[in-house]
Amino acid sequence: MARRAIPDIVVGRLPVYLRALSFLIVEGRQITSSQELGDRLGISSAQIRKDLSHFGEFGKQGTGYDINFLYDQLRQILKVNRMWDVVLVGAGNLGKAIADYGGFAGKGFVIQAIFDTDPAKVGKPMGIDNLMVQPLDALGEMIHAKGIVVGIIATPAEEAVAVARTMIDAGVKAILNYAPITLTVPSHVRVQYVDPVVGLQRMTYYLSTS
């Protein structure tokens, strides 16, 4: 499997396939097809077959995919058949929503520590795991000590650049950035962006104005 040859856009669709498979499992289903997955996801069945073919042979012509098998395989490919410790920086409204989110469980991620600069927040428990919010200047040491490689930034834009630098210097290699700013990072670090304004503006382009 020549992993380096796989386009990032293909990799980006795998978590969406995994999510769809998890719904099928909840529905008690055993077998699915690229056609059914495609219909559910608004993606052509040919695209799904082509995407999956990068990683191996997961179904047989005419019999479809074994849902549990494909689910396990995709978890393995995405390396989420294990737990990744995550640091979260920002304990404001958004950080609180992320810390309270139950959707990480079973998906490969567990928030291990939460940081903020606000003395009013530091020392207070937050999130589903009741983690004590820690002062931001403890961030680097914690990442380093625990060997954490995944970080979430939920700070204002002004603070995100410095937070990212601290994360990366301490060993973080994957950042989910909710701050509305593009981060400049070394080539060994990946960033995924979550900015509702960018999502909305990308759609208004197509709307008719009257």
Q: Which residues of the chain form contacts with its own copies (CB under 8 A)?
A: 8, 11-12, 14-16, 18-20, 23, 39-42, 77-80, 82, 84, 86, 93-94, 96-98, 100-101, 103-104, 107-109, 149-150, 152, 157, 173-174, 176, 180-182, 184-185, 190, 192-207, 209
Handedness of CA 171, 177, 183, 184 (dihedral sign): positive
Give the single-character DSSP code of 88.
E
- Ramachandran class of 110: left when φ > 0, alpha when ψ lies in -120 to 50, beta otherwise: beta
Q: How far is CA 197 from CA 151, 156, 178, 200, in A?
A: 22, 14, 11, 5
Give dist(CA 2, CA 61) in Å, integer. 24
> Given the complex with its own copies, which of 120 and 203 has the nearer CB atom?
203
> Given the complex with its own copies, which of 26 and 62 has the nearer CB atom?
26
> Given the complex with its own copies, which of 8 and 57 has the nearer CB atom?
8
Q: How far is CA 181 from CA 89, 198, 204, in A?
A: 15, 11, 20
CB of 62 to its own copies, least distance (A): 25
CB of 137 to its own copies, least distance (A): 25
Asked if 107 contacts 130 with a C-beta cutoff of 8 angstroms, the reply is no
> Given the complex with its own copies, which of 81 and 137 has the nearer CB atom?
81
> Given the complex with its own copies, which of 61 and 93 has the nearer CB atom?
93
CB of 197 to its own copies, least distance (A): 5
Please report which helix (H) or strand (E) contains residue 198, including its range: helix 196-204
